[in-house]
Amino acid sequence: MSNLKKQIQQRSTWIASMVACFAFLLMAVKVYEVPVAEITSNLLMVVFGLTVIVAAAALLGRLIVMLRQRRK
C-alpha cells in the first residue's frame, strides 16, 4: 500500500512541476514579451546539445568496453 502511495505522490509532484513550468513559460511570453519562436529555438538547441553529449558518452563507453575486451 505504501508503494502505491509513494507512486501517486511522485506522479503528483511531477504534474505540479510541469504546471509550474508551463506557468513560468506563459508568464515569460505574456509579461516579458519573449517570442515563442525564441523559446522554441532555445529549447531545440538545448535538446540538440544534450543529444550530442549523450551520444559522445555512449561512443566513449562503447570504445572503453571494446578496449577492455581486446586486452583479455
Judge contact between 25 and 39, C-beta under 8 A: yes
Are 34 and 40 spatial neighbours (Cβ–Cβ below 8 Å)? no
Give every CB contact of residue 34 below 8 A, 6+ residues apart in sequence.
28
pLDDT (0 to 100) of residue 72: 67
What is the number of other CB atoms lying within 10 angstroms of the CB of residue 29?
A: 14
pTM higher than the cut 0.75? no
pLDDT bin (cut points 50, 70, 90) of residue 70 is confident
Average pLDDT over residues 35-57: 96
Q: Are 36 and 29 in contact (CB under 8 A)?
A: yes
Residue 61: alpha-carbon gap to chain centroid: 21
